[in-house]
Structure 1
Amino acid sequence: MYEQLSDDELFAEVVRRRATGEPIGGPLGTLVQRWGRPARYVISKIQSSYGRGSPADADELYQDAVGKFIDRGLDQFRGVSEQMPGRSASPKTFFLRIVKHVAIDFYRRHREELAAPPSDPDDAMEEPPSERARAMEMGRRTEERADAQELYWAAFARLQQEHPKEASAWELYHHEDVEDHEECARRLNITVVNSYKRVSRAQAYLKLYLLDLQRESPRGEEA
């Protein structure tokens, strides 16, 4: 029964059940399962940024994010975009932000553990300045890539709100790796030509939204 409901309808059911003390496992389980693939996509991008990670990590980080969403996220979600004040935010975007931060924290912690000095001071070696500079540059680039991912998901959330048909085509074609317009058209019950058009329009809208967000971000103001 839950498969027929939209994300917003499912989330509203979760909120209603929590308020009345009813079990929330059914609608919430459907939601997080539906968000599993985009969550793993976010994790894979963070893994790429840090140059480490495995599918096993992705499953663990996804489960950790689900736990945080249940423990704290359900109470913290206000339905308002952090990137675009005054605009509404979807529970999916909020969840994917939790996923992103869980992954970043995990790999940042792992990197710091690898870089920790040996317990015996006599075994410590002076790190060449070039290595320190390289590590700082890698850290800066990692943060920039993480920021870019956050901007992308904010832009995609806006696309879902303002152009849902284009967003659905883009999500199939890029987030779910259905890189075949015939299959995309079949799933959306449209023509192949319309699939091409929707994906193309989605790309154009996303570029505009990303430019707007970059101008609004602190980094954009500094530039």
Structure 2
Amino acid sequence: MFEDLTDDELFAEVLQRRATGGVVGDALGALCERWARPARYVISKIQASYGRGSPADADELYQDAVGKFLDKGLDQFRGVSEQMPGRSASPKTFFLRIVKHVAIDFYRRQREDLAPAAADSEDAFEEPPAQVARAVESSRRREERSEAQELYWRAYERLQREHPKEAGAWDLYHHQDVEDHEECARRLNITVVNSYKRVSRAQAYLRLYLLDLQQEGGRE
């Protein structure tokens, strides 16, 4: 229902719904989905600069950024560029700035958690309890992300078996270097509308399959 709207028009729809107490989830989700690929590109650049990270990190950081955009970003956006005062800023640029800061904060914390302790006292090898707790938590999160990544690929394999058309669109849009739905539609020889629909259905199937896998794990 939002396919014919530009980013600015869709963002205006989100703000209007929010101002009147309406539901913004579907409109905001559609908007952020358009920005998912550039967001993951921003995250990949931050990962490269810190020399760490994985595809599972990118998904988690993207979702964190969407949450911050909803919780605080919608109220903070003023439409003015921070780098060039007097120039307008797009909501996409504002969102990608949130993505950048979320990724930087995440990997900065990781680097601090993994930094070696100073060896200039008798207690050099006794880390403070808070630092130990952070290191344990960081290790736990890495393990969870690894498990989540494994579950994702199992779910995707099921998608390929049961819904190959949706899997093909999802692969182009999320796994390969495809810029947008127009390019995705061109490669699949379908309409842009069908590209949106296939990617949307693929996302819904993947969520269902992931839920099934998580429930199977719980029963085990």
Using the alignment, how far apart are the partners of 2:35 and 2:82 within structure 1? 20
Using the alignment, how far apart are the partners of 1:120 and 1:86 within structure 2? 51
Please provide the CA RMSD for this pair.
2.6
Q: 2:56 aligns to what SS in structure 1?
A: helix
Residue identity opposite 1:111 in structure 2: R
Q: How far is the alpha carbon of 1:56 from its aligned partner?
A: 0.6
Moved over 6 A (4+): none
Aligned length: 134
Q: 2:92 aligns to what SS in structure 1?
A: helix
Q: How far is the alpha carbon of 1:119 from its aligned partner?
A: 10
Where does structure 1 lack aligned partners over 5 or more consecutive residues?
Answer: 126-175, 188-223
Give runs of aligned pairs for residues 1-223 of structure 1, distance below 5 A. 1-117=1-117, 122=122, 124=124, 177-178=177-178
Residue identity opposite 1:49 in structure 2: S
How does the TM-score come out when normalised to structure 2? 0.56
Q: How far is the alpha carbon of 1:113 from its aligned partner?
A: 1.0
For the structure 1 residues 119 and 73, does the alpha-carbon distance in structure 2 shift closer, same or farther, using more than 3 Å as the test? Answer: farther
Using the alignment, how far apart are the partners of 1:123 and 1:52 within structure 2? 29
How does the TM-score come out when normalised to structure 1? 0.55
Q: Structure 1, residues 141-183: CA drift from partner, whole Å, max 9, x if none?
A: xxxxxxxxxxxxxxxxxxxxxxxxxxxxxxxxxxx8349xxx6
Q: How far is the alpha carbon of 1:123 from its aligned partner?
A: 6.5
Q: Structure 1, residues 184-218: CA drift from partner, whole Å, max 9, x if none?
A: 9x69xxxxxxxxxxxxxxxxxxxxxxxxxxxxxxx
For the structure 1 residues 178 and 110, does the alpha-carbon distance in structure 2 shift closer, same or farther, using more than 3 Å as the test? Answer: same
Q: How far is the alpha carbon of 1:3 from its aligned partner?
A: 1.5
Q: How far is the alpha carbon of 1:4 from its aligned partner?
A: 1.4
Where does structure 2 lack aligned partners over 5 or more consecutive residues?
Answer: 126-175, 188-220
Q: How far is the alpha carbon of 1:71 from its aligned partner?
A: 0.5
Q: Which residue of 2 aligns with 1:160?
A: none
Using the alignment, how far apart are the partners of 1:2 and 1:101 within structure 2? 28
